[in-house]
Amino acid sequence: MALKGNLSDFSIIQLLNLITLAKKTGALYIESSSKSARLIFREGKLVYATAGMDAMPLIKIMARSKLIPSSMAASLSERYRSLNDMELGITLINSGYLTQDQIFTGITDFFKDIIRGLFTLTDGLFHFEAEEPPPLTSIPLRMTLEDIIIEGSRQAHEHEDLKSEIPSLDVALKFAERPGVNIRDINLNAEEWRVISYVSPKNSIKQIAVVAKLNDFQIRRVVYNLLQAGLVELIRLNNPAAPAPPRMIPARNPVEQRNLVNRVIDRIKTI
């Protein structure tokens, strides 16, 4: 029987679980309005994955895991342009750039991130093409899915909890007038810093998520942490009509920018 349906009925985690338990071989296609992916399995293990339409070149995969310095990636791609992934992998190993383990690590990280990107999809179509093999020239690797399934189910639970704490993303944040006592001891990570730049009664959490490039789960987690720290409070959106995300200047328009700088100068003068 064909394995196909909608992610609203069958989550990506449930699918991966099924494929693992039934030791399936073939390609799982995911297509939602925001994302698409192709995951290929052999006897329940992941052997290949692409996000979107095109496969990411091996050099780029290695560079994103910082196994190859990004400064070198371009020249290596150029030099080895005619090689397929398999040949390139062997060349990189033989020339001493990378070990086989490093190549596997880079690819595994990449595959995991593709799957993580699918965790939050609640809508979209999937279908499974039995026996579809990976491209002949791909690096032969078999990744067990147990870890990522556990991670995904944990995240799903956490997301449910976060949704009950922060049901709507159409609200805004403001800085607490009197922040919590232990404000000096907050440990903010990069995502949290990024969100902080956009805190304003006029920006909805949803808008902040867009500009900070965070998905619903990530933005809820960040906001929850900032709330827990007493740094921000949830408030009703001041300006619910505005659809555009908040803007970070410098604006491209120099007149507008000069105006902004002058306003800042006037304010600083009053300090």
Partner 1 sequence: MQTQTVKIVVTGPFNAGKTELIRSVSEIEVVNTEKKVTSESEKVKNSTTVAMDFGRITVDNDLVLFLFGTPGQKRFDFMWEILSEGMLGFIVLVDSTRPETFREARGILETFRAYAPTPYIVVANKQDLTDAWSLEDIRVALRLDSAIKLLPCTAKKKSSVKTVLLELLYAILEELDSAKS
- Residue 239 is a binding residue for partner 1 (CB under 8 A): yes
Which distant-in-sequence residues (6+ apart) come within 8 Å of 225 by Cβ?
192
- Residue 241 is a binding residue for partner 1 (CB under 8 A): no
Give the C-alpha distances (Å, rounded to integers) separating 249 from 7, 11, 254, 259, 260.
39, 40, 11, 12, 9
Q: Give the residue, chosen from 48, 203, 214, 217, that forms a contact with partner 1 under the rule CB under 8 A.
A: 203
Nearest CB to partner 1, comparing residues 2 and 271: 271
Dist CA 122 CA 119 (whole Å): 8
Place of tokens 């595994």: 108
DSSP 8-state secondary structure symbol assigned to residue 143: B
Which is nearest to 219 in space by CA: 162, 180, 140, 161? 162
Helix (H) or strand (E) holding 89: helix 85-94
Smallest gap from residue 99 Cβ to partner 1 (A): 22
Nearest CB to partner 1, comparing residues 125 and 188: 188
CA angle 112, 32, 248 (to 5 degrees): 80
Dist CA 194 CA 98 (whole Å): 33
Pick the piece of the chain touching partner 1 (CB under 8 A) from 46-54, 55-63, 132-140, 253-261. Answer: 253-261
- Residue 260 is a binding residue for partner 1 (CB under 8 A): yes
- Residue 231 is a binding residue for partner 1 (CB under 8 A): yes
Nearest CB to partner 1, comparing residues 86 and 211: 211
Q: Give the residue, chosen from 102, 194, 227, 233, that forms a contact with partner 1 under the rule CB under 8 A.
A: 194
Q: Is 203 left (phi over 0), alpha (psi -120 to 50) or beta?
A: beta
Site for partner 1 in 157-176 (CB under 8 A): 175
Pick the piece of the chain touching partner 1 (CB under 8 A) from 29-37, 100-108, 124-132, 250-258. Answer: 250-258
Nearest CB to partner 1, comparing residues 133 and 250: 250
Q: Give the residue, chosen from 23, 193, 228, 235, that forms a contact with partner 1 under the rule CB under 8 A.
A: 193
CA angle 241, 247, 252 (to 5 degrees): 130
Check if the beta carbon of residue 130 is closer than 8 Å to that of residue 26. Answer: yes
Nearest CB to partner 1, comparing residues 70 and 99: 70
Which is nearest to 119 in space by CA: 143, 150, 164? 150
Q: Give the residue, chosen from 2, 101, 185, 252, that forms a contact with partner 1 under the rule CB under 8 A.
A: 185
Smallest gap from residue 147 Cβ to partner 1 (A): 17
Smallest gap from residue 26 Cβ to partner 1 (A): 36
Residues that bind partner 1 (CB under 8 A): 175, 179, 183-191, 193-194, 196-198, 200-203, 231, 239, 242, 244, 246-250, 254, 257-258, 260-265, 267-269, 271
